[in-house]
Chains A and B, each alone.
Chain A
Amino acid sequence: MMKDCYINGIGCVSAQETTVDNDIENYQFLTERITHAHRPNYREFIKPTMIRRMSTGVKMGVVAASLALKEANLETPDAIISGTGLGCSIDSDKFLKKIVDNNEEFLTPTAFIQSTHNTVGAQVALGLGCNAYNVTYVHNALSFESAMIDAQLLLNEGESNVLFGGVDELGAYTTSLFDLIGHIKKEEVIENGILDSKTKGAIFSEGSQFFVLGDERSDSSYAKLVDVAVHNVLPKNEIEEKLVQFLSTNNLTIGDIDAVVLGTNGDVEFDGVYADLQESVFENTQQIYYKHLSGEYNTASAFGFWTACKILKTQSVPTNLKLNTVKSSSIRNVLLYNQYRSENHSFTLLSSC
């Protein structure tokens, strides 16, 4: 029997402006093929002596983490767990370019030491002086979910408050590589949103979302994290079966799901699996998407998770997230389903608390 786990604080930095209430209703559809994060005032959160070496991803991570901790009224967590598909791409790209362009001469260490995948977790720990458990997951579009699974496991092993989250940044060279092989949409402007694009590729962006998972409900609680299941590969014809199985291990059926949050990203080649579910098992379920607001990145599902937390707490679904017109009178159980390019499938179940 898994222990009850509560989301007691959330923090988000994304392509959308970070404001005090972060009202999703005010968020704009992204219209460009690549959108950089909207920078919050980093200096409000990070000491000047630390900020000078930080790339965008590290800064976003530190801000999202500190927002989540503040909301949960927690100074030092019992663990810091990060997920990042591509790690610190900006410094990695910078150091690699220097190696190639300068033929290995006159290289300096700063970009290298900031380039390791675990830099965000390390800098959060350093900022807090936190000696606790610290791990970074780097498994493509399952990075955030891996962090979440570890966080839930730690709580069941007896820890009380765990900070976990996802972060990915746009490194210029790495992004150009994915552009080269068609993972990014070719059109300069996405006129009517990703759903109407009917083209290959996704719109790319960057961001970081962190969460405090606690073993006690508090005034700041958003939701209960019930369960997470991952399938690194999952044949198309088994998705529905695995989904039903996942719900049944949690004593639920499709009918118990009040809203489903889908990782639809507008890629005509890979969105079919979502469409199939939308038209079949979830036909009568309220359907939600978010990657038109966050853009695609390996840990974009953390943005989806963040929206789900807000929906459960406010008991309302912002209009700009809706995929259909089905409405639920109250929102108790929310299921998230994400995959990327038909790999890295994940089911995450949240409930109201």
Chain B
Amino acid sequence: MSKGVAITGMGIISSIGNTVEENFQSLINKTPGISRIESIDTIHRDDIKVGEIKTSNQEFIQQLGLPDSNNYSRTALLAEVAVLEAVESAGIVDMNSCKTGLISATSVAGMDMTEKYYYSLFDETHNRKYITAHPAGDATTKIANRLGITDFVTTISTACSSSANAIMLGARMIKAGKLDRVIVGGADCLSKFTINGFKTLMILSDDNCKPFDADRTGLNLGEAAAFLVLESDEQVKKDNKKVLGYVSGYANANDAFHQTASSENGEGATLAMKKALKGANISADKIDYINAHGTATNNNDASESKAILRVFNDAIPSLSSTKAYTGHTLAAAAAIEAVYSILALQHATVFPNLNFKTTIPETNIVPVTEVLEKEIKHVLSNSFGFGGNCSTLIFSKA
């Protein structure tokens, strides 16, 4: 019986590292990437903390060898850095040796450039090149062209669960035999638009975020990109590929409760977790680690805790949210946490939930707070977004 869809490569960039290895080192050394914001000129500078990548656009442009005339948004730059690492790690020599697709995810898209040149676009013609970088599909097309993927290329946007759905669609396309290989993931950069948006909802913390803590004060926004390479069993066999892990379960459900808030009993999240377990054909007690959505907002952590209790009853597996390391990276969150889930499987390590002190009394869930080594066969990763979008992925050991 198939273990799921094989993962043969991965790449990541986040505020805790520009490569998979750098991210892993930060995770096991308990080094968070949360700081004051430097690259964006915002009046909220001193009221918020963010997971900002300290590499400038100019440095990325050089690293990627792009011409000065390029019109990459920061989202596209981050996406390309991560996708190139993923492709390299999968050892892909000829992109068109088999039917290959690309599914990316974003919510911010090219907003960083649009907000920067909002009025000047009309007077200064040289910035107008960023207009076509505004739509969500632009970064995806840029990386598809760079990789030479011409046919099945698409972009998903379901707010903060976006890249979970990209991974899910990729796995489904492989299973259905529609593609032999697919690169899946997502990217989002920090922007004034999202900073101010979350600020109006009064859910941004002025301190380091504290997932699952009774005294949590809201989330830290972050920026990141991550991509996985998924391949069919035939393709893995044919190229004698090393398998890093498997996408063994996935599900998407809708909370259908409120445009932004999660329902009190976590209906959508519960459905997503249950459906993913069913799809993976394993019972809840087989999960060794939950990489929670855990944004550290009042609403999310309470609702997600309820949902986890509903699915796992009293036997809660080791659990942590890695958002205290990276901040909430929106459409990229599920993809970077997929990389962390695979690292957990590979290194038999649960990464700690930083900044936790006090248990939420109503749910009494205690996350793992120190690096924990243990055998891990199955990891469950949650991602939830505005619009009631709830997605769960299950990753299993190779």
Interface residues of A (CB under 8 A from B): 53, 80, 85-87, 92, 95-97, 99-100, 103-105, 107-109, 112-119, 121-123, 125-126, 128-140, 142-143, 146, 150, 153, 156-157, 174, 177-178, 180-181, 229-234, 298, 343
A104 contacts B386, CB within 8 Å? Answer: no
New A-B contacts (12) at CB < 8 Å, excluding given A108-B200, A118-B385? A86-B135, A99-B196, A116-B107, A122-B388, A129-B256, A131-B254, A134-B387, A146-B155, A177-B131, A177-B134, A232-B151, A233-B145
A134 contacts B259, CB within 8 Å? Answer: no
- Distance between A119 CB and nearest chain B CB, rounded to angstroms: 6
Q: Using Cβ atoms and an 8 Å threshold, which residues of chain A touch B106?
A: 138
Tell me the nearest residue of chain B to A145, going by C-beta: B154
B318 within 8 A of A: no
Q: Using Cβ atoms and an 8 Å threshold, which residues of chain A touch B29?
A: none
A153 contacts B172, CB within 8 Å? Answer: yes
Residues A119 and B154 in contact in the complex (CB < 8 Å), given A113-B386, A177-B134: no
CA distance A138 to B153 in the complex (A): 11
Residues A107 and B200 in contact in the complex (CB < 8 Å), given A126-B388, A134-B388: yes
A133 contacts B253, CB within 8 Å? Answer: yes
Q: Please, could you name 27 A-B residue pairs with CB atoms under 8 Å apart, sorted by A?
A: A85-B137, A96-B114, A96-B118, A97-B118, A104-B42, A112-B197, A112-B201, A113-B386, A116-B159, A117-B159, A121-B387, A122-B387, A125-B387, A126-B257, A126-B259, A131-B271, A134-B158, A134-B252, A135-B169, A135-B252, A137-B154, A138-B109, A138-B157, A153-B176, A153-B178, A181-B132, A230-B153
B259 contacts A113, CB within 8 Å? Answer: yes
Q: Using Cβ atoms and an 8 Å threshold, which residues of chain A touch B114?
A: 96, 177
Tell me the nearest residue of chain A to B195, going by C-beta: A104
Q: Using Cβ atoms and an 8 Å threshold, which residues of chain A touch B256?
A: 125-126, 128-131
Among the listed B121, B138, B156, which residue makes an inter-chain contact with A180, where contact means beta carbons less than 8 Å apart?
Answer: B121
B89 within 8 A of A: no
Among the listed A80, A100, A119, A157, which residue makes an inter-chain contact with B259, where contact means beta carbons less than 8 Å apart?
Answer: A119
Among the listed B135, B150, B172, which residue makes an inter-chain contact with A233, where contact means beta carbons less than 8 Å apart?
Answer: B150
Among the listed A115, A123, A180, which residue makes an inter-chain contact with B122, where contact means beta carbons less than 8 Å apart?
Answer: A180
CA distance A97 to B118 in the complex (A): 8
CA distance A309 to B173 in the complex (A): 26
Tell me the nearest residue of chain B to A242, going by C-beta: B151
Residues A116 and B386 in contact in the complex (CB < 8 Å), given A137-B154, A177-B121, A232-B150: yes
Among the listed B153, B173, B252, B387, which residue makes an inter-chain contact with A153, where contact means beta carbons less than 8 Å apart?
Answer: B173
B155 contacts A138, CB within 8 Å? Answer: yes
Among the listed B43, B150, B155, which residue makes an inter-chain contact with A137, where contact means beta carbons less than 8 Å apart?
Answer: B155
CA distance A76 to B260 in the complex (A): 22
Residues A140 and B141 in contact in the complex (CB < 8 Å), given A122-B388, A131-B267, A135-B156: yes
Among the listed B157, B169, B255, which residue makes an inter-chain contact with A117, where contact means beta carbons less than 8 Å apart?
Answer: B157
B352 within 8 A of A: no
CA distance A180 to B314 in the complex (A): 60
Q: Using Cβ atoms and an 8 Å threshold, which residues of chain A touch B158?
A: 117-118, 121, 134-136
CA distance A142 to B192 in the complex (A): 28
Contact with A along B374-389 (1 / 0, CB 8 A): 0000000000011111
Q: Using Cβ atoms and an 8 Å threshold, which residues of chain B touch A87?
A: 136, 157
Q: Using Cβ atoms and an 8 Å threshold, which residues of chain B touch A178?
A: 131
Q: Using Cβ atoms and an 8 Å threshold, which residues of chain B touch A125?
A: 254, 256, 387-388
B136 contacts A104, CB within 8 Å? Answer: no
Closest 5 CB pairs of A and B: A122-B387, A112-B197, A232-B153, A117-B157, A138-B136
Tell me the nearest residue of chain A to B148, going by C-beta: A233
Tell me the nearest residue of chain B to A341, going by C-beta: B132
Tell me the nearest residue of chain A to B119, going by C-beta: A100
Instruction: Tell me if A's interface is mostly helix, strand, loop or mixed.
Output: mixed
Q: Using Cβ atoms and an 8 Å threshold, which residues of chain B touch A181?
A: 128, 131-132
CA distance A298 to B149 in the complex (A): 21
CA distance A84 to B150 in the complex (A): 21
Tell me the nearest residue of chain B to A122, going by C-beta: B387
B197 contacts A139, CB within 8 Å? Answer: no
Q: Using Cβ atoms and an 8 Å threshold, which residues of chain B touch A112?
A: 196-197, 200-201
Contact with A along B176-199 (1 / 0, CB 8 A): 101000000000000011001101
Q: Using Cβ atoms and an 8 Å threshold, which residues of chain B touch A138?
A: 106, 109, 135-137, 155-157
CA distance A134 to B165 in the complex (A): 9
Contact with A along B227-248 (1 / 0, CB 8 A): 0000000000000000000000
Residues A100 and B115 in contact in the complex (CB < 8 Å), given A138-B137, A139-B140: yes
* Most chain A beta-carbon neighbours within 10 Å: one of B44, B128, B138, B260: B260
A104 contacts B44, CB within 8 Å? Answer: yes
Contacts of B259-297 to chain A: CB distance below 8 A: 259-260, 267-268, 271
Among the listed A104, A116, A146, which residue makes an inter-chain contact with B196, where contact means beta carbons less than 8 Å apart?
Answer: A104
Among the listed B134, B140, B192, B268, which residue makes an inter-chain contact with A131, where contact means beta carbons less than 8 Å apart?
Answer: B268
Residues A142 and B137 in contact in the complex (CB < 8 Å), given A109-B197, A113-B201, A131-B253: yes
B83 within 8 A of A: no
* Most chain A beta-carbon neighbours within 10 Å: one of B44, B107, B196, B257: B196
Tell me the nearest residue of chain B to A107, going by C-beta: B200
CA distance A112 to B268 in the complex (A): 22
Q: Using Cβ atoms and an 8 Å threshold, which residues of chain A touch B199?
A: 107
- Distance between B164 CB and nearest chain A CB, rounded to angstroms: 10
B79 within 8 A of A: no
Among the listed A116, A135, A229, A232, which residue makes an inter-chain contact with B165, where contact means beta carbons less than 8 Å apart?
Answer: A135
Q: Using Cβ atoms and an 8 Å threshold, which residues of chain A touch B43?
A: 103-105
A132 contacts B157, CB within 8 Å? Answer: no
Q: Using Cβ atoms and an 8 Å threshold, which residues of chain B touch A95?
A: 193, 196-197
Q: Using Cβ atoms and an 8 Å threshold, which residues of chain A touch B136?
A: 87, 117, 138-139
B137 contacts A134, CB within 8 Å? Answer: no
- Distance between A123 CB and nearest chain B CB, rounded to angstroms: 7
CA distance A118 to B260 in the complex (A): 11
CA distance A107 to B121 in the complex (A): 23
A132 contacts B253, CB within 8 Å? Answer: yes
Q: Using Cβ atoms and an 8 Å threshold, which residues of chain B touch A109?
A: 197, 200-201, 260
Residues A142 and B157 in contact in the complex (CB < 8 Å), given A107-B200, A115-B197, A131-B254: no
